[in-house]
A and B are shown apart, each in its own frame.
Chain A
């Protein structure tokens, strides 16, 4: 690209304007004539047989139009297809059939003239249950004799596998030191402020479904929906609205099927939008779990091998388990050069909310475990925790570096990230500060964590867990069109949820076509009839940098080439003599010899006989882009699970109030490297937001279930999101290590901060309490947990 005028510009996202004036076109703001509102009656038992359902009284309420049970759903739709095929069929429909398996599982749905009336109707529905024993703890769920979620399966273990890379046993037996520890991760979720929903309008006369939704993965949702409803993809029009935050959570094909069925039954559009209680109880939780981590260390402090035994609690997730496990596997060596890896993973079902995608998906836990372990190792070996890390970092000279599990760290300067981080947090002067504070009776601590932040999921990695090749690679699609008046239209398959796609895409196209930023319009919405798309289309795994950019640039290039070609024809020059600049194609030698885009469009769209004989009319380019680096698992089961590795270092200075256990963050520093920065304003915002999610997970957020499987916190009153008081100001700095494998050298950034933040904070708290010998085990570090850890350490000494 010759012009790089817009790349790197700190342009404020143009989409901000409609949001700041309250004109966002979010799903709940859409309304259609005769639209009905759905409400769902949900299971009150964690595990039970459904004995009977009686909706008669509910249907008598004025304004209630129809109801749907699991039995009806089973008759009217095909089971949703699971990612991992199981030895026995475990049919899963949009409503519970025969059994309920978690509190909050949808059992009956009604459609009525308003949500108020629909909820009135729910109260009149009688469901008879036969409660069954429930299992809540994943290790308990694995034991023989545990209550089974699917009896025919004979187990709650959805997946169990061992991966061995290198001479793991040998390395561990020969190592000078072996350290091992158990880590726990709790359930939490990113909870976008807008809840998930859809409006389905099924036209019975032509068997056509129009669906509006805030689903963030249209490419995956469409085929699932089509399959379940027995429609072809051409019988569905799938449209997204402005999405009020995604973070992975905005996906629930069963709700789409449900709304579609209600629409079919009623003959009217049906809207279903989960309320906050439903969202917290039943949409998606990040897996909780247990990890036994062992690290083999050489005499001189070299990290030689890592062994993991990880149990991921997926709740009732038969549809797409093992995602967290695969990502932990891919991140197991983090930024470090560790030669041998053993990974044993379990995906276990329990009677809890289904797991799914959430900012970080498994990577925060992997980072937490390893980074906590490194601090422990340093302490036990009497080594400095910074130097221990530094000596083991993958050096830039070794890049692109392939990890034992097959991930390719394509670029990055980890030592420099570390150096900048230490400077930013004031590491050198902290030791004195800490001593002075302790003298005054204040307990300050500094902790840090380094993390790789890979992006762009390679669908091939699921071959490792599913045993079948459902999909492979990574890709996205885009269309760029110069309109008949010379303005430029861009339609991207991917949807946005606050990442500034409309602006970023315009910057790329403006540079590619040599036009002004204002001349480029990017559609914010996905419309399956208009947007080019692939199965991989959607907003997940920070893939904008890895796939969307390539698609956008590719589409723009095609149009650019056509413009040059057409201009060459009209100017009677050769294309090599011409360039795209300032809204025109012009001669490199004499800029006055030019054709504006408008003049070229005039020919391409209207004056068709002026076109070269072999040239089609129109000025449109489509690019279906495939990301570089995606591969298939090899015979050693190595694969690049996620491509294009960003990285970051986070450091926190905390103060622990010994008397109450409260942790306050005094200072927080972030150094991140996502390669080429297309728009620093957008990047910085995403770094802040993702880090705030990590802080929430570290200190405040936790979904709690009692021993019977009842969720204890299902509102924002007791599921605690950090507010403007709890999230500190961030000091940020960055590096740019461009990826050699993406068109602009960009790498993913949306998820990153959520990965190292919990580790940085946990390390900081332990550092603060080191004189007391406190060891923390559970997150979040609530005041009570911290106090108990202090209390029990005091008792021991």
Chain B
């Protein structure tokens, strides 16, 4: 059995279906950025440490720089660009704005998506839980203080919104 040079891939990104052939070694991050134009996926290290490239794969946060595009076959991906509903920001995005939880913004897409993953699992996180969950996302600008405040505020807002 000879492996083809290109591998067929079928996936959904931010609600858009894509089907095509991809080089096996192309990382999911590069595929999302270059083939599909989702440049909100940032490259900060390309060895799976900084978290800047984080996306949601079938709802769970993953590092797209250490995933091959071919591995995302059949999956649903959400990048930062797919989080907001047109002009309406996701509560976490809004909270980041409200608390100035960013400066240069480069870590922000990954940080927001990591927070999305956290709040899905733990809707009422304590400060230490927030810090631990986000410890896989490096920020060089903010010192994290405002980020933690934003996620805390977002958790509250989401809870309040979901109360009957």
Contact = CB atoms under 8 A, between A and B. Distances in A.
Query: A–B direct touch, CB within 8 Å, in complex?
Result: yes
B104 A192 contact: yes
A230 to B, nearest CB: 34
Contact of B84 (A21, A276, A499): A21
B40 A689 contact: no
Contact of B143 (A19, A195, A245, A689): A689
Contacts of A244: 42, 104-106
A241 B33 CA distance: 17
A490 to B, nearest CB: 20
A28 interface: yes
B89 A20 contact: yes
Interface string A703-721: 0000000000001110001
A456 interface: no
A275 B106 contact: no
A678 to B, nearest CB: 14
A692 B143 contact: yes
A17 interface: yes
Contact of A12 (B34, B93, B100, B130): B100
B140 A243 contact: no
A693 B141 CA distance: 9
Give the one of B39, B79, B140 with max A CB within 10 A.
B140
B43 interface: yes
A725 interface: yes
A193 to B, nearest CB: 4
B143 A22 contact: no
Contacts of B142: 685, 688-689, 692
Given A28-B43, A245-B141, A691-B143, A19 B105 contact: yes
Given A17-B97, A724-B134, A730 B40 contact: no
Given A20-B96, A22-B40, A725 B104 contact: no
B145 interface: yes
A688 B80 CA distance: 25
B81 interface: yes
Contacts of B42: 26, 28, 193-194, 244
A500 interface: yes
Interface in B130-164: 130-132, 134-148
A549 B46 CA distance: 38
Nearest to A497: B104
Contact of B146 (A15, A18, A116, A688): A688
A29 interface: yes
A715 B65 CA distance: 14
B40 A716 contact: no
Interface string A1-39: 000000000001101111111111010110100000000
A260 interface: no
Given A21-B40, A21-B84, A28-B39, A16 B144 contact: no
B90 to A, nearest CB: 9
Contact of B49 (A195, A688, A716): A716
Contact of B50 (A22, A23, A24, A716): A716
A723 B106 contact: no
Given A16-B100, A498-B103, A191 B49 contact: no
Contacts of B141: 193, 245, 498, 685, 689
A190 B104 CA distance: 14
Contacts of A22: 38-41, 79-81, 108-109
A686 interface: yes
B45 interface: yes
B140 A685 contact: no
Contacts of B50: 193, 276, 716
Nearest to A686: B103
A681 B139 CA distance: 18
A275 B52 CA distance: 14
Interface residues of B, number: 58
A724 B84 contact: no
A725 B135 contact: yes
Given A116-B25, A716-B47, A29 B97 contact: no
Interface in B13-39: 23, 25-26, 33-34, 38-39
Nearest to B131: A724
Contacts of B56: none
Contact of B106 (A23, A24, A689): A24
Interface in A587-629: none
Given A24-B106, A192-B104, A721 B146 contact: no
Contacts, number: 176
Contacts of B98: 12
B123 interface: no
A275 B44 CA distance: 8
A688 B100 CA distance: 12
B69 to A, nearest CB: 12
A672 to B, nearest CB: 13
A511 B140 CA distance: 32
A453 interface: no
Contacts of B103: 245, 497-500, 685-686, 689
Contacts of B127: 729
B135 A724 contact: yes
A193 B104 contact: yes
B119 interface: no
Interface string B60-96: 0000000000000000000111011000010001001
A247 B143 CA distance: 14
A727 B143 contact: yes
Contact of B97 (A20, A499, A724): A20
Given A243-B104, A245-B106, A21 B89 contact: yes
A242 interface: yes
Contacts of A16: 96-97, 100, 102, 105
Contacts of A13: 100
Interface string A240-257: 001111110000000000
A725 B16 CA distance: 36
A353 to B, nearest CB: 18
A18 B81 CA distance: 11
B140 A247 contact: yes
Contacts of A686: 103
A405 to B, nearest CB: 31
Give the one of B26, B52, B104, B109 with max A CB within 10 A.
B104
A20 B102 contact: yes
B140 A724 contact: no
Interface in A683-700: 684-686, 688-693
9 contacts: A21-B84, A245-B106, A498-B105, A681-B100, A688-B144, A688-B145, A690-B143, A715-B47, A723-B136
10 interchain residue pairs of minimum CB distance = A22-B40, A19-B105, A498-B103, A244-B106, A498-B104, A692-B143, A22-B80, A688-B143, A29-B39, A716-B49
Given A22-B38, A191-B140, A723-B136, 13 more contacts: A12-B98, A13-B100, A20-B105, A21-B80, A26-B39, A245-B104, A497-B103, A681-B100, A689-B140, A689-B143, A715-B47, A724-B139, A729-B145
